[in-house]
Amino acid sequence: MKKDANLTQRRSRQTLLALLLVAFAVSIGFAPLFELIEDGIAARVIGSSFGAIFVIILTMFLLNKQTEIEQESKKSERVFDEKVKIYQKILDITGDMLLDGELTQEEMNRLPFPLIRLQMLGGDEVIESFQRVFDKLNSIYSEEGDVVVIQDDDKSEIYRLISNFSGECRIDLEISNEKVTDRIQDATVSAISKSDKKKNDQTKFKFSGKLLPKNQYVYAVITNYLSENPQLTLDQFKNTFFDKEFDGSRKGQYEAWKTYQEVMDIHHSGVGTIRFYVSAKRKDIGTNKEMVLKLMDAEICLSNFWGIQHMEPFRERLKEKSIKIE
């Protein structure tokens, strides 16, 4: 496309040059020529010829200019669409990373290539603003451990950096010529931080004498039941506990469970974060499945993401079936 645009621009310049030459030739030689041939049919023929040539060259110039504008417009539309896609993908990835309040190696590995694509399409200010987000995430993940918990202060700073990145994207996409004001950014970060604290409720539940986080509590209750009922089939598991969607609010990566093969498909595709219990260490997901639940006719992986809104329906359901929950 760039080659075509350059060719069109070159032709436009050549046509414009020819137009100028014709205009100059007419201004210098037209009057003497008419004086030479005087008035009559010949003068009219020559006048018409010069007028026709001038109109043809002018038309060529205008057509070439129109073609150039159309090519630039198509290129701009394509670049705009690609920019929106990469900006949206980066926001989706960082959103997934912050949603569970933890950073894993798998999540960190999803960022480098979008950053490289960003360098191909984004403006310098956009690249620099996201680089600051990436640097902050790297500094947090540099702490020891396969899974690093993001502290509230760090999370607020990341939200601010992402908000700044979003503002630079807005300018780069020419949606606005002005940056988001500090007042709006502060209000946005404050609102997100407050809502995030509500979503990341740290309530713990007691089971067999231990206080456990929500996800570990659900896993402990179910594995304890399975140890006493090893002949359970998948259909019996659904009837006893829950289907994938549980109370209707669990979708996609947040389903209550997936089959082991479904989780492995996600793992091998590299397009999503693994939010299910497979192995004790997330880096061993591809080789170790010690935390996979083995039923008589299936292998399933429980979700490791449970909100406080899920806990009461879960406990009430098990109470009705006289299953141990404490």
Angle at 47 between CA 41 and CA 50, to 5 degrees: 140
pLDDT tens digits for range 136-150: 888 888 765 567 777
Model confidence at 80: pLDDT above 50 = yes
> Residue 29: its pLDDT value, please?
53
Least confident of 24-28, 102-106, 232-236, 272-276: 24-28
Most confident listed range (47-51, 116-120, 219-223): 219-223
CB 102 within 8 A of CB 147: yes
Confidence of residue 294 (pLDDT cuts 50, 70, 90): very high
Taking all residues of the chain, what is their mean pLDDT, rounded to a whole number?
A: 78
The CA-atom distances, in angstroms, between 318 and each of 20, 36, 121, 278, 279 are 89, 111, 53, 24, 26
The CA-atom distances, in angstroms, between 217 and each of 256, 279, 280, 316, 322 are 14, 16, 15, 14, 17
- The pLDDT of 118-122, averaged and rounded, is 84
Most confident listed range (155-164, 221-230, 281-290): 221-230
**Sign of the CA dihedral with 166 first, then 167, 168, and 171 last:** positive
> Residue 2: its pLDDT value, please?
41
Percent of the chain scored above 90 by pLDDT? 12
**Sign of the CA dihedral with 245 first, then 93, 146, and 189 last:** negative
> Residue 224: its pLDDT value, please?
93
Domain boundaries, given as residue ranges, for the chain = 2-74, 76-199, 204-320
The CA-atom distances, in angstroms, between 98 and each of 19, 225, 234 are 62, 32, 32
User: Which residues neighbour 125 within 8 Å (Cβ) at sequence distance 6 or greater?
Assistant: 168, 171, 172
